[in-house]
């Protein structure tokens, strides 16, 4: 039995029904749990001698809006295929829980790695902070809050970390406009930086085929 299979069996035997799903793919073990059990399970994963996941290596948010929906169903380019970048998605399915948080754990003692996925619930989405277990989660959780709008309950200093002061929205959400919501410029009249609604017209660059061009014809004269 491989190390991953052994670890998988140990986690299943220890956590039992608290695991929603468990999967081994691409030489990685991933477990999915409910947000309400997050702190209890993370405490076990850190302190149990079988696991000893002492380090939180990374934490990131995921937006599952329109997950599984194919915008381009053809297997070869067609004259209408590029419309997928122009036409809005209609009747798009949405996940019951849109936002998830992924935790990448490392056991220095056993040289094991583990991915833990838990879905944030509510609007706005909220999930417990794991700072009480791994203090390194502080900036990771701030990043996920900034980019995805996921709230981490009991985080002592949950504020933006990458975007500017006064930034509107969360830029890694799939429904965030590519042109943004606000633009910043220096006003010579006011002698300061001002924020204004973005005035860029949204457009999509559609690749075009040049048909009447001698470079693509058989006549090279």
Domain count, the chain: 1
User: Is residue 35 in some structural domain?
Assistant: yes
Cα 173 to Cα 63, 100, 180, 185, 205: the distances in Å are 6, 12, 11, 25, 21
User: Is residue 139 in some structural domain?
Assistant: yes
User: Is residue 20 in some structural domain?
Assistant: yes
- d(CA 18, CA 38) in angstroms, rounded, equals 10
Q: What is the pLDDT of residue 62?
A: 96
Domain harbouring 134, CATH code: 3.30.460.80
- The range of the structural domain enclosing residue 103 comes to 7-162
User: Is residue 178 in some structural domain?
Assistant: no
User: Is residue 121 in some structural domain?
Assistant: yes
User: Is residue 133 in some structural domain?
Assistant: yes
Cα 13 to Cα 16, 181, 219: the distances in Å are 6, 49, 73
- d(CA 22, CA 28) in angstroms, rounded, equals 11
User: Is residue 148 in some structural domain?
Assistant: yes
Question: Taking the chain (221 residues) in consecutive chunks of 10 residues, what is each chunk's mean pLDDT?
Answer: 86 93 91 95 95 96 84 53 52 68 96 95 94 96 97 95 87 86 83 81 59 56 51
User: Is residue 176 in some structural domain?
Assistant: no
- d(CA 161, CA 68) in angstroms, rounded, equals 30
Under DSSP, is residue 3 helix (H, G, I), strand (E, B) or coil?
helix
Q: What is the pLDDT of residue 104?
A: 97
Q: What is the pLDDT of residue 47?
A: 95
Q: What single-letter DSSP state applies at residue 101?
A: E
């Amino acid at each position: 039995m491989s190390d991953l299979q052994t670890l998988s069996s140990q986690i299943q035997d220890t956590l039992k029904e608290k695991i929603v799903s468990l999967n081994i793919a691409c030489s990685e073990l991933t477990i999915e749990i409910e947000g309400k059990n997050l702190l209890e399970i993370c405490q076990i994963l850190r302190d149990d001698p079988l696991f000893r996941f002492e380090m939180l290596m990374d934490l990131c948010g995921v937006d599952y809006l329109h997950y599984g929906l194919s915008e381009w169903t053809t297997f070869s380019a067609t004259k209408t295929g590029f419309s997928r970048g122009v036409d809005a998605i209609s009747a798009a399915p949405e996940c019951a829980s849109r936002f998830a948080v992924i935790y990448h754990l490392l056991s220095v003692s056993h040289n094991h790695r583990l991915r833990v996925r838990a879905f944030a619930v509510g609007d706005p989405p909220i999930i417990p902070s794991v700072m009480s277990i791994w203090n390194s989660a502080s900036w990771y959780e701030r990043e996920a809050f900034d980019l995805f709008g996921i709230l981490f309950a009991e985080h002592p200093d949950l504020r933006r970390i990458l975007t500017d002061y006064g930034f509107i929205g969360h830029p890694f959400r799939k429904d965030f406009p590519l042109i943004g919501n606000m633009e910043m410029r220096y006003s010579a009249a006011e002698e300061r930086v001002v924020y204004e609604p973005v005035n860029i017209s949204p457009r999509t660059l559609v690749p075009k085929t040049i048909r009447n061009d001698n470079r693509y014809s058989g006549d090279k004269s």
